[in-house]
Structure 1
Amino acid sequence: MNVTWYDALGLFGVGLILAAYFALQAGRAQAHGLGYQLANLIGAALVLLSLMFEFNLSAFVIESAWVLISLYGIVKARRERRTPRS
């Protein structure tokens, strides 16, 4: 099997997503933490990049949703940190 550079990037992205999820389940990451959100965002973006060369519709849909949800989480967390608590 020949692994191209874009396959390697996509696999690295999958690894980031899985590592982030494992860290969350193991109690080593927080769902609202920036590191967790960034790992998901970057991982999904890398998978999307690999799909530019070998397209797969179902993978494109799930990774696009993953990017949007991660961005939402990052924005929400930033807003919560800026808002003073009563």
Structure 2
Amino acid sequence: MINIIADIVGMAGTCLVVGAFFLLQLNKVSPKGLLYNLMNLSGALFLLFSLCINFNLASFVIEIFWIVASLIGLYGYLKQDRSAGNPTS
């Protein structure tokens, strides 16, 4: 049963990461925007959860890098938003 849950969570993560990429290619999101980075971060976290059940070292490592890149993007977004004088919510 846990394998099925891990697969469902992993597929949701895949949809989020690939969906973010498609939205970027269609110019619907900005690579420095909140939505793009949140989709990537949550997708990578979901995939990482799935990989903890069905481990694959190469995939695990790339998800760690994906999480770090997304956190850097979110930091940049928040820093830019604050420097513009806009309150973050």
Counterpart in the other structure of 2:38: 38
For normalisation by structure 1, the TM-score amounts to 0.91
Cα deviation per residue 1:4-58 (whole Å; 9 max; x = unaligned)? 1111100110010000100000011111110110000000000000011111000
For normalisation by structure 2, the TM-score amounts to 0.88
Moved more, 11-20 or 76-85: 76-85
**Aligned equivalents of 1:79 and 1:8: distance in 2?**
34
Q: List alignment gaps of at least 5 residues for structure 2.
A: none
Shift, 1:77, TM fit: 1.2
Task: Please show how residues 1-80 of structure 1 align to structure 2 within 5 Å.
Answer: 4-80=4-80
Shift, 1:84, TM fit: 4.2
Tell me which stretches of 4 or more aligned residues in structure 1 moved more than 6 Å.
none
Shift, 1:83, TM fit: 1.5
**Aligned equivalents of 1:35 and 1:80: distance in 2?**
15
**Aligned equivalents of 2:67 and 2:39: distance in 1?**
10
Q: List alignment gaps of at least 5 residues for structure 1.
A: none
**Number of aligned positions between the proteins:** 83
Aligned-pair Cα RMSD in Å: 1.4
Identity %: 37
More helix by share: 2
